[in-house]
Chains A and B, each alone.
Chain A
Amino acid sequence: MAKQAQHELTESPAQLEQFYREMLYIRRFEEKCNVAYRQGLVGGYMHVYIGMEATAVGWNDAIKVGYDYVITAYRDHAQPLIMGSDPVKVMAEIMGRKDGYSQGKGGSMHIYDVENGFFGGWGIVGGHTPLGAGLAFAAKYRKEDRVALCFLGDGASNAGVFFETLNMAALWDLPVIFIIENNEFAMGTRLEYHAADTELYKRGEPFGIKCERVDGMDVLQVRKDAQRIVDWVRENQKPYVVEIMNYRFAGHGAADNDRQLYRTKEEEEENEKRDPIARLEKILEERNVMNREKMEAIDEEISEKVEEIYEAAVASPHPDPSEVYDHVYCDMEPEKGH
């Protein structure tokens, strides 16, 4: 398992509060998405980030947002929220509305906010990993010192194209960090049933890529590891593989309504003790950074904000049917009609 953290608090109270706010913001936002899904306001597949918040928050704090590149799979609501994207546009996209980032043509699995360096939002498991390396390739080609964070799942870490990509990332010294989010499941298939070697960080070894396993449930530790690794990659212009141990509390997607098919209630309860938000709350309280009342006040404030985001997204119109042709091509009209 990942090393247990021994914290000296190096973060300022303001920073600690920021991490707390960001994680809570993701959690409340995702809970609201679940509500919207049950209300029929969201269709298709939707995958929330509940339980995994510390990973996105810790890594986001370690990069230069808007300069560095970030790319992930379909579990993609969290990153844009904390990268400064317009949350109404995120939720509107999840609801398929006109004010969404892709005007309703992407949906939950395909959120992009390129201005902030967020490149989505991809639905083919493993398929986005060469794209992440390609972003890093562009940085290297132009002799810029941007790094690319490419998040992927434990399930995606088996994909052939990921191994191809690791080889080229090492061969060409691409400044890309592959962050394998090991939440122990690929949909309903437990890690031991899908990976011959369950130490996924070792995916980097055959290519001589520096790699390690880290904890993903303690945001302070995540941030420290992330900063160290991002700095190393920026400095050394080489790839890195990180396996970050986290857990999703929710089902695989909103359509997964029988988690007992692949894990027990006891196991879930055991893992809920690792809740990254509760863990930070404990630290904040023990170190006298914040008392419970303050936390509750923050929660209330965030919940209200999420409510407003939800209202604004619901108020956004559906796209006009004529928009179906928009953006098939750049500067070119596709053929029209059935």
Chain B
Amino acid sequence: MAAVLTEMSYRDAIRRAIVEELDRDKDVFVMGEDIGRYQGTFRVTEGLFKKYNEEQGEWRIIDTPIVEPGFTGIAIGAAMAGLRPIVEMMTMSFSILALDQIINHAAKIHYMTGGQVKVPLVVRGPGGAAKQLSAQHSHSMEGWYAHCPGLVVLAPATARDAYGLLKASIRNDNPVVFTENPGLYTTKGEIPDDPDFTLPFGKANILKEGKDISLIGYSRMTMLNLEVAERLAEDGIDAEVVDVVSLLPLDTETIFNSVRKTHRAVVVYEDWKHGGFGGEIASRIGEECFDDLDAPVVRVGGLNVPMPYSRVLELECMPKVDDVLASIYKLLK
């Protein structure tokens, strides 16, 4: 039986996933700064405090003090005892404070305990530039986390993936870092009307098939790549758009198969170009698909500068359609 589809925004899809999992499992709770009474800085948790805490009289939606290491650590401890916390970071930039708890603790616990302790934790929140939030609020953290074994790192681009993967993350026993580019919150997608819809980790998607070049990206850059593909089509170039979705685990097979078909690859990521996750994807393609390539693998990343405040400068920092096109035309020459 094919599920009925409902159109909704990326933001609403995330909220629906959270609500359904809160309803399904009493061990699930949400914790973070201003996520309850204030309903979340990006309104992802709108209505939750009223429903669970006020109407149902439960303690499920928990406003915390502004102490990322402390509340992330408490969530990890609660997860060690079997609860399933969803921690919202007001922005992923602030999760830098909690790196010790996420990397030194959460990511190591199952291993260090020889499998005795699981950490069914989700750390989620907006990651990447929003609009003029400048240098301390605009980090793309997913590449930092994807460096660390023991974590699952997801960066969905579509409402459907966000929905299915967040539900899967909440049900999963591993610590998951789930990043939501603020530019995606209002984008729309179709969500299956199925409270048990989940998606597997480590699965990339081909959002548009093509034969001439692979445009590889994740999160908001996938949307950019779709635009780039449209522009290329006008010039008769048939691009394939690979949405990586899951950085750790990484679906190299889908990426390699695409490159083996198109023989050219451009990797696009919003994070700083130098040392960013796109470099990891590019080097993997280089290692595994060298003989299939007709041209070097190209990276298009964020400028290697702190994010500036001015909208003009901010836009300059992030890869744009024209930046990707320019690198492609250089490649095709």
Most buried by B among A71, A128, A160, A165: A165
Is the CB of B15 closer than 8 A to any CB of chain A?
no
By a CB distance below 8 angstroms, the chain A residues around B72 are 130
The count of residues in chain B whose C-beta lies closer than 8 Å to any C-beta of chain A is 43
CB contact list, B284-329 vs A, under 8 A: none
Report whether A127 and B104 are in contact in the complex, using a CB–CB cutoff of 8 Å. Answer: yes
Most buried by B among A100, A103, A133: A133
Report whether B73 and A131 are in contact in the complex, using a CB–CB cutoff of 8 Å. Answer: yes
Known: A135-B77, A139-B81. A168 touches B114 (CB 8 A): no
Report whether A131 and B116 are in contact in the complex, using a CB–CB cutoff of 8 Å. Answer: no
CB contact list, A307-338 vs B, under 8 A: 326-332, 334-335
Most buried by B among A114, A121, A172, A330: A330
Report whether A332 and B249 are in contact in the complex, using a CB–CB cutoff of 8 Å. Answer: yes
Is the CB of B110 closer than 8 A to any CB of chain A?
yes
Is the CB of A213 closer than 8 A to any CB of chain B?
no
Report whether A112 and B112 are in contact in the complex, using a CB–CB cutoff of 8 Å. Answer: yes
Rounded to whole Å, the gap between the CB of B237 and the closest CB of chain A is 33
When each residue 63-75 of chain B gets 1 if its CB lies under 8 Å from chain A and 0 otherwise, what string results?
0110101111111
Is the CB of B222 closer than 8 A to any CB of chain A?
no
Rounded to whole Å, the gap between the CB of B150 and the closest CB of chain A is 6
Interface size class of A (residues with CB under 8 A): 35 or more
Rounded to whole Å, the gap between the CB of B145 and the closest CB of chain A is 14
Main secondary structure of the interface of A (DSSP, over half): loop
Report whether B105 and A112 are in contact in the complex, using a CB–CB cutoff of 8 Å. Answer: no
- Closest B residue by C-beta to A112: B113
Report whether A130 and B149 are in contact in the complex, using a CB–CB cutoff of 8 Å. Answer: no
Is the CB of A161 closer than 8 A to any CB of chain B?
yes
Report whether A161 and B113 are in contact in the complex, using a CB–CB cutoff of 8 Å. Answer: no
Is the CB of B83 closer than 8 A to any CB of chain A?
yes
By a CB distance below 8 angstroms, the chain A residues around B71 are 130, 164, 168
Rounded to whole Å, the gap between the CB of A151 and the closest CB of chain B is 14
Report whether B78 and A124 are in contact in the complex, using a CB–CB cutoff of 8 Å. Answer: no
Report whether A124 and B100 are in contact in the complex, using a CB–CB cutoff of 8 Å. Answer: yes
By a CB distance below 8 angstroms, the chain B residues around A100 are 114
Report whether A167 and B78 are in contact in the complex, using a CB–CB cutoff of 8 Å. Answer: no
A138 is contacted by which of B78, B116, B174 (Cβ under 8 Å)? B78
Report whether B81 and A69 are in contact in the complex, using a CB–CB cutoff of 8 Å. Answer: yes
Is the CB of A110 closer than 8 A to any CB of chain B?
yes
CB contact list, B176-225 vs A, under 8 A: 201
Rounded to whole Å, the gap between the CB of B7 and the closest CB of chain A is 32
Distance A156 CA – B127 CA, assembled complex (angstroms): 32
By a CB distance below 8 angstroms, the chain A residues around B201 are 332
Report whether A164 and B65 are in contact in the complex, using a CB–CB cutoff of 8 Å. Answer: yes
Known: A112-B116, A328-B150. A105 touches B73 (CB 8 A): no
Known: A135-B80, A328-B110. A119 touches B149 (CB 8 A): no
Distance A164 CA – B174 CA, assembled complex (angstroms): 25
Distance A328 CA – B74 CA, assembled complex (angstroms): 22
Is the CB of B277 closer than 8 A to any CB of chain A?
no
Is the CB of B111 closer than 8 A to any CB of chain A?
yes
Known: A164-B69, A330-B173. A131 touches B114 (CB 8 A): no
Rounded to whole Å, the gap between the CB of B124 and the closest CB of chain A is 18
Known: A101-B114, A105-B111, A168-B74. A332 touches B101 (CB 8 A): no
Rounded to whole Å, the gap between the CB of B286 and the closest CB of chain A is 16
- Closest A residue by C-beta to B114: A102
Q: List 24 A-B contacts (CB under 8 A).
A: A69-B81, A102-B114, A105-B111, A113-B116, A119-B80, A130-B69, A130-B70, A130-B73, A130-B101, A134-B76, A134-B77, A135-B80, A137-B74, A138-B80, A161-B69, A161-B70, A161-B100, A161-B101, A164-B70, A164-B71, A167-B65, A172-B62, A334-B249, A335-B249
Q: Which residues of A contact B (CB under 8 A)?
A: 69, 71, 100-103, 105-106, 110, 112-114, 119-124, 127-139, 141-142, 160-161, 164-165, 167-168, 171-172, 326-332, 334-335
